[in-house]
Structure 1
């Protein structure tokens, strides 16, 4: 899968307001909705129906639902093998389930990622030390589909 195409698709969502469980460019999305929208643009139909989910993303049960879904549909990579277009999965606090997603836009010293963030909408942020500490998994889009 072409990383530049993924990054261009993700950047086209910048400015979309944050809206929990939504996935409509320009109207609203959350972090999963952004990933779903980019998937539809670069691959096609989504691989499964996303069930309703709460803002706590299975935290009370300690259920790694988002991580399991990523493992079903994306290719796992080493966390430090940065490539633009990668899907990033974060824990928002130590000991919590992984529940935030972003798409790597640039690698290296100027590393940054695109994500839908509550209170901000879809933005591009530096992949700073605090974000890197939260990063728990990195994935590539599947190959062989266009």
Structure 2
């Protein structure tokens, strides 16, 4: 009987010892964001408008170095909301919640592309307009969603 108790104690110690081993690395999960208030969304749009004219630079993410499209979005959201959005357009396409074009409000993201994965993004500022950093044209600019070029793209909209 004593041997049985010793075996039971040893098994219990081994089981408990497993609890003290380091946990496996956590699986990366997308952060959960709280929806922006109307005031915050308007602040984002105003800040984006203030960056119109900033030079385009592939990989750029500050006004001093210039912006690419996702760098512009990252800069505006970080400086206004303290929120660091994903860095690439493909990642931005899963950030926040999808909204329909009829529900767009200032501060929403607009994403464009001709394939299943968007290749360009901007910040909606209201009245059918968005701010973005296009590679053609060389500067951050304000464009209409219904402009000929953008109207031919597959557009999707996200609300961070």
Using the size of structure 1 for normalisation, the TM-score is 0.71
Tell me how far 1:45 sits from its aligned partner: 4.7
Indicate the RMSD between aligned Cα atoms, in angstroms. 2.1
Greater strand percent: which structure?
Answer: 1
Instruction: Give the conservation status (yes or no) of the 8 Å contact 1:13–1:26.
Output: no
1:95 aligned to 2:118?
no
Instruction: Give the conservation status (yes or no) of the 8 Å contact 1:6–1:85.
Output: yes
Greater helix percent: which structure?
Answer: 2
List structure 1 segments (4+ residues) > 6 angstroms apart after TM superposition: none
Counterpart of 2:43 in structure 1 is: 5
For structure 1, the 5+ residue unaligned runs are: 51-64, 142-146
Distance 2:104 2:85 in 1: 25
1:79 aligned to 2:101?
yes
Instruction: Give the conservation status (yes or no) of the 8 Å contact 1:77–1:139.
Output: yes
Counterpart of 2:84 in structure 1 is: 46
Tell me how far 1:136 sits from its aligned partner: 2.5
The higher-RCO structure (CA 8 Å, 6+ apart) is 1
Instruction: Give the conservation status (yes or no) of the 8 Å contact 2:77–2:84.
Output: yes
Aligned pair count? 120
Counterpart of 1:115 in structure 2 is: 132
1:21 aligned to 2:39?
no
Tell me how far 1:42 sits from its aligned partner: 1.8
Larger Rg: 2
Instruction: Give the conservation status (yes or no) of the 8 Å contact 2:93–2:118.
Output: no
Tell me how far 1:125 sits from its aligned partner: 1.1
Tell me the secondary structure at the aligned position of residue 93 of structure 2.
helix
